[in-house]
Amino acid sequence: MSTPRETGPAAKFIQICASQNDLFALDREGNVFQYNFTAQTWEKLVATRSHEAPGRGERASRGGPRATFS
């Protein structure tokens, strides 16, 4: 297996996760990569948020009433 092109040849993964059809890896900086079996290379995944998703640090509503403390 080769290392990701985006981080150079000395990059090391700290965790690898495999499913039946996919292979993912996490590097020391928190970047997530997916292995492309056709190209035989690692591709860096880019996180995007939809407009409906809560922002960083915000909590998603669970739909129920919230407890109040006095």
Q: Quick one: which of 49, 54, 37, 40 has its CA closest to 3?
A: 40
- 36-45 pLDDT tens trace: 999 999 999 9
Domain assignment present for 65: no
What is the sign of the dihedral through the CA atoms of 10, 14, 42 and 47? Answer: negative
Domain assignment present for 62: no
Domain assignment present for 58: no
Containing structural domain, residue 13: 1-47
Domain assignment present for 2: yes
Domain assignment present for 60: no
How much is the average pLDDT of 11-15?
Answer: 87
Residue 28 has pLDDT above 70, yes or no: yes
Number of domains observed in the structure of the chain: 1
0.85 surpassed by pTM: no
For residue 10, what are its two tokens?
């000395």
Domain assignment present for 35: yes
Q: 7: how many CB neighbours lie within 10 A of its CB?
A: 17
Residue 5 has what DSSP assignment? S
